[in-house]
């Protein structure tokens, strides 16, 4: 390129013409390739796969130079590019309706008209959280027992934890620590904890931990 520029300034007319022709050809290809916007993507369909996923498919657009990508919109907001005519939108909320459109783009970034709008409602969340792990006693007095455990995971989100003492539900907390109070001195208590999500799915119980209060 530098050579071409030097040639230009040194008055090499032949080289100038060649460069000019080359650039003109590129421009011509660019204009020819991008002159027309892609056709509108047709038959967009949305199908709920799970509580958090919706799959989308549509018919490919046509373009004189080829479609480079599709832009996918959820409820009017751009969410992703796709070179394929099928995508899966994930990380959604259960039992919620989402509506989509797609638009095709060519190499000159000319865009098609928006596709039809396709809507789907995610399924109910029926997957329970994982069982809390590593339930441990962090402090003991004559009347109190403090516990902590590792957080559970869920396909949507963990809402809270139920703490059981000797099989009886005594506390519901959002965090991964709890303190049981008003206990009798020199007495053994056994604890388990379970996680639940917003849909009311409850995990398997954690391992049990037992401890005796101080005298």
- Which of 6, 21, 47, 64 forms a contact with Ca ion (CB under 5 A)? 64
- Which of 7, 36, 146, 159 forms a contact with Ca ion (CB under 5 A)? 36
Distance from C-alpha of 9 to C-alpha of 115, rounded to nearest angstrom: 51
CB of 118 to Ca ion, least distance (A): 25
Distance from C-alpha of 16 to C-alpha of 161, rounded to nearest angstrom: 76
**Of 65 and 69, which has the nearer Cβ to Ca ion?**
65
Task: Establish if 194 lies at the interface with Ca ion (CB under 5 A).
Answer: no
Binding-site size, Ca ion (CB under 5 A): 13
Taking contact as CB under 5 A, which single stretch among the options 22-30, 55-63, 116-124, 132-140 is the one that binds Ca ion?
A: 55-63
The DSSP letter of residue 91 is S
The answer to whether 35 touches 109, Cβ cutoff 8 Å, is: no
**Of 12 and 39, which has the nearer Cβ to Ca ion?**
39
The pairs formed by 204-209 with CB atoms below 8 angstroms and a separation of 24 or more are 204/128, 204/131, 205/131, 205/164, 206/131, 206/132, 206/133, 206/135, 206/149, 207/133, 207/135, 208/135, 209/135, 209/136, 209/137, 209/147
Task: Establish if 113 lies at the interface with Ca ion (CB under 5 A).
Answer: no
Task: Establish if 127 lies at the interface with Ca ion (CB under 5 A).
Answer: yes
CB of 182 to Ca ion, least distance (A): 33
The separation between CA 70 and the C-alpha centre of its own chain, rounded to angstroms, equals 19
- Which of 7, 55, 57, 65 forms a contact with Ca ion (CB under 5 A)? 65
Task: Establish if 180 lies at the interface with Ca ion (CB under 5 A).
Answer: no
Task: Establish if 125 lies at the interface with Ca ion (CB under 5 A).
Answer: yes
Of 167, 137, 134, nearest to 151 (Cα)? 134
CB of 47 to Ca ion, least distance (A): 20
Residue ranges binding Ca ion (CB under 5 A)? 34, 36, 63-65, 106, 125, 127, 154-156, 197, 201
């Amino acid at each position: 390129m530098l050579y071409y520029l030097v040639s230009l300034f040194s008055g090499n007319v032949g080289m100038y013409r060649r460069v000019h022709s080359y650039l003109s050809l590129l421009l011509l290809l660019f204009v020819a390739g991008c002159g027309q916007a892609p056709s509108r993507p047709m038959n967009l369909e949305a199908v709920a796969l799970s509580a958090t996923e919706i799959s989308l498919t549509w018919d490919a657009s046509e373009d004189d130079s080829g479609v480079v990508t599709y832009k996918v919109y959820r409820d009017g907001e751009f969410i992703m590019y796709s070179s394929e005519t099928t995508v899966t939108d994930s990380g959604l909320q259960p039992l919620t309706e989402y509506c989509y459109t797609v638009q095709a783009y060519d190499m000159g970034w000319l865009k098609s008209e928006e596709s039809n709008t396709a809507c789907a409602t995610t399924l109910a969340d029926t997957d329970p959280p994982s069982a809390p792990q590593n339930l441990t006693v962090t402090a003991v007095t004559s009347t109190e027992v403090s516990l902590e455990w590792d957080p559970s995971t869920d396909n949507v989100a963990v809402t809270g934890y139920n703490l059981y003492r000797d099989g009886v539900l005594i506390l519901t907390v959002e965090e991964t620590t709890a303190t049981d109070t008003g206990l009798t001195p020199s007495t053994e208590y056994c604890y388990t904890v379970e996680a639940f999500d917003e849909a009311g799915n409850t995990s398997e119980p954690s391992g049990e931990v037992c401890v005796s209060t101080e005298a």
